[in-house]
Amino acid sequence: MTEVRIAFTTLPSREEADRLAAESVAAGLAACAQVEGPIRSHFTWEGRAESEEEHRVTFKFAAAKERDLESWVHARHPYAVPQWLTFAADHVSPAYRAWIGGVR
């Protein structure tokens, strides 16, 4: 049975977020990638408080593709330290799990 994982990253523009989302699906690494935003992020960078508008990409994928997707995203990401948070989906409907498992 396919273990389903979810990951988040943020990008500085809608165009970059849409590109990364679409290309991850086209590459067969994510079954689905959704773009949200703009969102406002508040963070500390190099000792200074910062605030930027960003766009969040949510990836849904089979756990077997996690390392490949992470490496792929990091190689194409414009940030020096991209956000990359992943977690297992605790409950996934059988039909959705089967669909994600069938994505090549």
For 11-54, the pLDDT digits (tens) are 999 999 999 999 999 999 999 999 999 999 999 999 999 999 99
Q: What is the pLDDT of residue 16?
A: 98
DSSP annotation of 95: H
The CATH number of the domain holding residue 87 is 3.30.70.120
Phi, psi of 5 (to 5 degrees): -120, 160
Asked if pLDDT for residue 55 goes beyond 80, the answer is: yes
pTM value? Answer: 0.95
Domain count for the chain:
1
Structural domain containing residue 37: 4-102
